[in-house]
Amino acid sequence: MLPKETITSKAAIADISDTDIPEPITVVYRHPDFLVIDKPTGISVHKDHQLSGLPDLVAQQTGDAKLWLVHRLDKITSGLLILACNSDAAAEFSRLFQTHKIEKHYIALSSGKPKKKQGMVAGDMAKTRNGSWKLCRSQTNPAVTRFHSVLCEPGLRLFHLMPKSGKTHQLRVAMKSLGSPILGDQRYGDKTALDRTYLHAYALKFDYRGKKIVITQLPSSGEYFLRPEVQRQLARLTIDCITD
């Protein structure tokens, strides 16, 4: 059995001024070869309208000479993002992601009643004329997402999403296909204007050079994420992820 390291708390970093991000990014876990950050919602991993890409901005804050982006989160998605500290680690993480050796867990909120409360969403994805994506019935190279959900309060359901593939907008499209678009995701069917889109990259599990690593991070922003019953359900989910 591999030695196991579990990280469930935040690790603050120094306040560095003159970056494109108004507040410092939280570093949740630090390893000589990589670090894991809690990406805020509304921040692109690429340059976008920022002067620098996210790896460069984090490197300014941490003092690293260079950081490598090894996977991506949508701009609207908050949560755990791995940045490699050297090219060898970047290559290793690229291999781990390509071979699906990194287990990813997301949480989302929806006000819609799903067609089913748990199970799997699978199908090919095709781009639409407006640049969004849709789920198809074909299964040539399907996007696969396992999920389960729990009702937190009337009109508010928490989803635990476990993607088995890594397609663009996969989780947002899966939620729309269930009839439960993600709260605040106006692009994929939720018409409510809110403080954020309620999708968060919550946990990562992987083996790295002989050590099993489990990292969880609760969302730190969003009025609905911070509601008492949602927090209670998230606490239960944390225990399940750690002990699994």
The reported pLDDT for the residue numbered 234 is 93
* Tens digit of each residue's pLDDT (9 = 90 or more) over 13-41: 333 333 345 578 999 999 999 999 999 99
Q: Is 74 a catalytic residue?
A: yes
User: Percentage of the chain with pLDDT > 90?
Assistant: 78
Minimum mean pLDDT range among 49-58, 140-149, 215-224: 49-58
Distance CA 32, CA 169 (A): 31
Average pLDDT over residues 197-204: 97
Asked if 150 and 80 touch (Cβ cutoff 8 Å), the reply is no
Asked if 10 and 38 touch (Cβ cutoff 8 Å), the reply is yes
The reported pLDDT for the residue numbered 238 is 76
91 Cα distance to chain centroid: 21
Question: One of 15, 38, 74, 88 is an active-site residue; which one?
Answer: 74
* Tens digit of each residue's pLDDT (9 = 90 or more) over 94-110: 999 999 999 999 999 99
Q: Map out the domains of the chain as residue ranges.
A: 4-243
User: What's the CA dihedral at 9, 15, 21, 25 to 10 degrees?
Assistant: -20
Average pLDDT over residues 46-59: 76
CATH superfamily for 4-243 is Pseudouridine synthase (3.30.2350.10)
The reported pLDDT for the residue numbered 150 is 96
